[in-house]
Structures are given as structure tokens and as C-alpha cells.
Amino acid sequence: MNSKDFIKTSIYIVLTCFIVGCTGYQYVSSPVYVPVNGEKGDLKFDFAFNKLEVGYAFTNHLSLFATGFIRSNKGGSKGELFFGKENSGAKIRSDSLMEANFGFSIYGKAEAFYYEFLLGSGIGRVKYNNRIDDYNNDYQFRMVARRFNLFIQPSFGFKVKNIIELGTFAKFNYTSYYDIKSTVILGDSQDETDNHFIGKKQTDLFFVEPGVFFRVGSKNIKFQTQIFPTLSMIDDKLNYREFNLYLSLFININILNSSEKE
């Protein structure tokens, strides 16, 4: 990849982060880990400015992985006016998130077709602020909570001459917010999306995140794109991000030589 292509890709990443991150959410799906392991000794890295994912295949069918994700959104608005001018009635929201996950996978392949089943769990910390800017009396809600998640994820991939990889996945994610500390100032207008957390110490959320991924580049280094929606499985109104687009750099090397594999 030449310098001109690298600059274009970097600009694309920055613009994407701005587009999908202009307001705050109570829940944001972390990037999905899709290693597409093929053989013992595969060591994989997937990273961007706010995430790092690492995995290693220690047998021809089993691998271990760990992921980390950081998000910090200082606030945008969602309501009558995009920029939330004074007394506009806009909902001005911000959030931050730190998350780490660990797990293992069972994988296999048949020619150029790859399949993998991941099981993982993780912990994190969430902060969320919400204010409705009313003329007479503002509504304000603030929350800090710890986050625990448990997920299973089948993934399927296809490789074309080690240059292109594409596939699909479906992440089934149980998330628990616990040790919740929240404050609320009730104004003239209230936000019903906060009701799920007000006055509670713990609450459970369930999401399904089906999507696709695409990687292109050389045998060992590729640029990756993930696209997936977030679907809430609970009968409640939540403020969560419904669409996700992540770009990253994916590195795959095999640290074993042919004789060791045998």
C-alpha cells in the first residue's frame, strides 16, 4: 500500500468515527472479533485507535483471544436542533466506555471456507449523561455503572488467494449493568429511555448483533471493515446505537514452521 492510499484510508476512518459517534448512548456494541483461524500457530492482531484484539490458535481446532475497547463521546444532541442550542428542547447526551473481553474459539476449515464458534466474557465501566434543554426547567440524568457481558458467536468466512477475506457473523450478547449509581433531576420534559436505570442497582440487557466483515490487502496485513446492526431483545425503550461501522488494521502471522506443525 502506497502513502496516498494510506492517507485516504486514514481520512475515511476519521470521518466514519465522526458519523457514528455524534451523540451519546446508554449502550454501544464493541467491535466484533472475527479471527477466521485456519491452523495451529495463527497469531492475529486487529487494532484501531480505540481497540485492540489479539488471538492465538494453540491447536488445529482451538484458539484463545482477548479484546479491549475504549470509547469517549463528549456529547452531541438528538432532538429538535442538531447542535442543541439553548432552550431548544434538544436531548444533549454523552457517554464513555472501557471494556475488556476474554474467551476461546473452536474453528475449522474446508478448502477456502472457514468456520468458527466463539465463547467469551468481559467486564467494563460505563458513564452516561443526558440533559433535555428546556426553557423553564432542564431534565438531567447521570449514570455510572459496571458492565459484565457474556456472548456466543458463530462466524463464517471465505478467503480468496490470501488477499481477500469476507464473511458473516452473529453475536448473541447478554450484558448486565450492575453497581449502578444514578442521579436524576426531573424537569418539564422527561426522557423515558432512562427509566430502565433510574432507582436500580442492577439491570439485564440482551442483544443480537448480526453482521458482515470484509478484509483486503496482503497475505499478512489487511484493512478490515465491519458492518452490523444492534438488535435489542428486551421489551423496553433504551437509548442504544442501532448501527455500527468499524474500520481497523488486521495482521495475521503464523509463528510455527512446517516441521513444528507436523
Q: What is the pLDDT of residue 23?
A: 85
> 10 Å Cβ neighbour count for 189?
15
Q: How far is CA 140 from CA 36, 94, 225, 245, in A?
A: 44, 12, 36, 29
Cα 147 to Cα 114: distance, rounded to the nearest angstrom:
32
Taking the domains of the chain in order of start, what are their residue ranges? Answer: 3-261
Beta strand 164-185 with 221-229: parallel, antiparallel or unpaired?
unpaired
pLDDT digits over 117-126, tens only? 999 999 999 9
Whether pTM exceeds 0.85: no
Counting as low any pLDDT under 70, the low residues of the chain are: 1-22, 75-89, 134-135, 188, 257-262
pLDDT digits over 57-93, tens only? 999 999 999 999 999 987 665 554 444 445 556 778 9
Q: What is the pLDDT of residue 262?
A: 45
Please tell me the class of the 3-261 domain.
mainly beta
State in Å, rounded, how far the first CA of the chain is from the last one.
34
Q: What is the pLDDT of residue 27?
A: 96
Q: Please say whether the dihedral angle defined by the alpha carbons of residues 29, 154, 167 and 115, taken in this order, is positive or negative.
A: positive
CB 223 within 8 A of CB 46: no
Q: What is the pLDDT of residue 258?
A: 45
